[in-house]
Amino acid sequence: MAHGEPAGCCAPVDTTAPISVTINPEARVNAARTGHRVASLAMGDWHPIEFPIVNTGFVTGQLVIEADPVPGIELDLPVHELTGEPLQEGGFRVRFDVPTIVDVTLTFRAVGALGGLAIHSTLHLLLRSHMGRQPVNLLTGSGLAGE
């Protein structure tokens, strides 16, 4: 499935983040995948996943991220205060309890705008964990993932 690039006021956002969030003048939130993937994450560590927030409507209030619990993974989903600036940094953290692959459904909502009635956007993010250090091939001494 192809997703269009999220746009700023005049051009697409230049980002290496795996997602981007755009808020239009009606406080409608559009969260979209970019062309960048989230690499495999080490089990047991907190990993930040950052993203730009493009605010074409100069909306103020709160941007919240919601997700249902997913077995084997912890999510730290902070509330972001929208300042009205056209570009802000956002992010959340993830930690895996076990090596796994999960599909996390994230919902982004601008709750302070329009009395909390603003439209929201939902996206799926596929995340994968591994046992810490990448396994080493004993015959070649190289990492198995990079062969």
What does DSSP say about strands 73-76 and 120-130: parallel, antiparallel, or unpaired? Answer: unpaired
Residue 26 tokens, joined: 């009606």
Tell me what pLDDT residue 113 has. 56
Distance, CA of 111 to CA of 27 (rounded, Å): 9
**Strands of the sheet with 47-55, listed across from one edge:** 29-33, 19-23, 47-55, 87-96, 73-76
Residues 6 or more apart whose CB falls under 8 angstroms from that of 121 comprise: 21, 28, 29, 30, 31, 32, 107, 108
Tell me what pLDDT residue 9 has. 46
Taking a C-beta distance cutoff of 8 angstroms, is the pair 29, 110 a contact?
Answer: yes
Tell me what pLDDT residue 97 has. 92
Taking a C-beta distance cutoff of 8 angstroms, is the pair 32, 78 a contact?
Answer: no
pLDDT along the chain (147 residues), means of 10: 44 79 89 90 94 93 93 95 95 94 93 61 91 52 44
pTM of the model: 0.77
